[in-house]
Amino acid sequence: MSPPLPPLIRALLDPARYPHPVAAVELIETHASWLLLAGDFAYKIKKAVVLPFLDYGTLERRRACCEAELRLNRRFAPQLYLAVLPIVGEAEDPQIGGAGEAIEYAVRMRRFAEDGRLDRLCARGQLGRQQVSDLAATLATFHAAAATAPPESPFGEPEQVVAPALANFDELRDLLPGDAAGARLARLRDWTQAEFDRLPTHFAARKADGRIRECHGDLHLGNLVVIDGRVTLFDCIEFSEALRWIDVASELAFTYIDLLDHRQPGLACWLLNEWLTCSGDYDAAQVLRFYAVYRALVRAKVAAIRGRQDGPDDGQAGGYLALAERLIVPPEPRLIITHGVAGCGKTRASRELLLADDAAATLRLRSDVERKRLFGLAASASSGSPMDGGIYSGDASERTYERLRELARGLLAAGWSVIIDAAFLERRRRESFHRLATDAGAAFFIVAPAATPGQLAARVRGRLAKGHDASEADLSVLAGQLARIEALGDAERAHLLPGRRPGSGEPQGRQRD
């Protein structure tokens, strides 16, 4: 049974208390606050609680946190966050925004349709790939503009990274008593310590590279909403600089594990890949699994705290432990390359593989995107290069494939499977990546989609007409490729990914690479 409401919150359930029309008031309670939905607005009041990671213990502290919440959330949702208002009078007879001594403070926000929250879309099976792509682009843009932690600050230092991760286990042992839970936590703690011991130079390098930013800090699906067709962030962490000034990889890891918890591994995998494509921050993959386990255990802790406040948590804390346990044992890595001319379906086939990855452990590298990044161009920008010239010259192609090889080597070493979405028109390049897979101890596969000449031409024309794809191949490029393709040999065909063998329509001959 839930504890009784405080007099102030009980009084604010009366629609007449508000300075605007309200038919009824809806109350949402979290472990740290009350949210009162009243007419066109929402009022967030912080609980007078002190937790290991949060201090709302005094009125002055709550006022400061309300003001910080307004300022910080206006970075990405200025249309939602309106003001901080004092609540005056008596707890049993309060007035919002009136004159007099404040007894409490509330953040006033514009309401949005709750059905548009991503957790609710996910629960209804209505969260799709395009919305996740929009989220990834929004995140990458926000992270790029967010303030960077100064070198002299403690934020992002390796010792500060590991301290809260290890502290989680001390708190969880108290919250989840019993030998079985203790044994599970001990295994997860051992993995966390070992993974940190393997990665200290990566953590230090990420701070030096400016990857520690003033982030959102609490980016689960319930803090994301579709407004006017775009994904909007809201309700960031305002109460702790240490939880907000974090690695952007830690930010991403939270949304990633929440999609996994919602049983959407394909969308979790897609989120990682779209964010990496937008940001180019492939080094994040080195530390991402560490942060994902940390985030899963933070969620376990919050669920356990709520369980103590409100009663049993229906196994939520145990579910997050199970998720963390799955994350520390990823599947054996694979290296998959694509093969084929423009328009044959390489990118579509690789996308399907990502969305079908039940472990959300596959990362894709697109040659069209990385080639342009290498030469300082946005993915959708036109290079103005002629066929076999500019960024498509022989030397530029060598540099592009070397960059793909370098990135793939690092991702495989970090325990991720990798898809290289590239033409791989020349046998020597395919053999080079086969050797890379062997050296990395990864299984090697080839995906070679088939299409008729008519389909190829139609797809190339259609892609150019849309004007927002990274590929710049036109019909003249396609013709050159069809004339010069180096078809797969028998030994290579043995590596075709099961279930994805090309049909009789596979283009043959030599192909421009």
pLDDT digits (tens, 9 = 90+) for 188-198: 999 999 999 99
Query: Where does the pLDDT of residue 508 fall: very low under 50, low under 70, confident under 90, or very high at 90 and above?
Result: very low
Does residue 30 carry a pLDDT above 80? yes
What pLDDT is attached to residue 110? 97
C-alpha span between 412 and 441 (Å, rounded): 9
C-alpha span between 37 and 126 (Å, rounded): 24
> What does the pLDDT average to over 85-105?
95
Query: Where does the pLDDT of residue 312 fall: very low under 50, low under 70, confident under 90, or very high at 90 and above?
Result: low
Lowest-confidence region among 26-30, 231-235, 412-416, 502-506: 502-506
Does residue 289 carry a pLDDT above 50? yes
Element (H, E) at 320: helix 316-327
Lowest-confidence region among 228-232, 452-456, 471-475: 471-475
Q: In CATH, what number does 118-327 get?
A: 3.90.1200.10
Does residue 506 carry a pLDDT above 50? no
Does residue 505 carry a pLDDT above 60? no
Does residue 179 carry a pLDDT above 60? yes
pLDDT tens per residue across span 470-484: 887 888 888 888 888
φ/ψ (deg, to 5) at 339:
-150, 125
Query: Where does the pLDDT of residue 98 fall: very low under 50, low under 70, confident under 90, or very high at 90 and above?
Result: confident
As a whole number of Å, the end-to-end CA separation of the chain is 67
Beta-carbon neighbour count of residue 316 at 10 Å? 17
Helix, strand or coil, per DSSP, at residue 39: coil
Lowest-confidence region among 120-129, 148-157, 284-293, 380-389: 380-389
With contact defined as beta carbons under 8 Å apart, do 77 and 233 qualify?
Answer: yes
Cβ contacts of 413 within 8 Å, gap of 6 or more: 440
What pLDDT is attached to residue 53? 79
C-alpha span between 473 and 460 (Å, rounded): 7
With contact defined as beta carbons under 8 Å apart, do 104 and 92 qualify?
Answer: no
Domain 7-111 annotated CATH 3.30.200:
yes
What pLDDT is attached to residue 303? 87
Domain 334-493 annotated CATH 3.40.50.300:
yes
What pLDDT is attached to residue 472? 77
> What does the pLDDT average to over 94-99?
91
Beta bridge partners of 336: 419, 445
- For the chain, the maximum distance between any two Cα atoms, rounded to a whole number of angstroms, is 85
Domain locations in the chain as residue ranges: 7-111, 118-327, 334-493
With contact defined as beta carbons under 8 Å apart, do 369 and 288 qualify?
Answer: no
Comparing CA positions, the residue from 325, 327, 31, 312 lying closest to residue 181 is 325
C-alpha span between 279 and 488 (Å, rounded): 34
Residue 95: both structure tokens together: 């007035």
Q: Where are the beta strands (DSSP E) in 91-137?
A: 93-96, 102-110
Does residue 513 carry a pLDDT above 60? no
Instruction: Give 144-201 as a 3 state SS string.
Output: HHCCECCCCCCCCCHHHHHHHHHHHHHHHHHHCCCHHHHHHHHHHHHHHHHHHHHCHH
Burial of 469 (0-12, 13-18, 19+ CB in 10 A): middle
Q: What angle do CA 434, 440, 442 make, to 5 degrees?
A: 70
Q: What angle do CA 353, 356, 358 make, to 5 degrees?
A: 125
pTM of the shown model: 0.90
pLDDT tens per residue across span 385-423: 887 788 888 899 999 999 999 999 999 999 999 999 999
What pLDDT is attached to residue 311? 66
Helix, strand or coil, per DSSP, at residue 480: helix
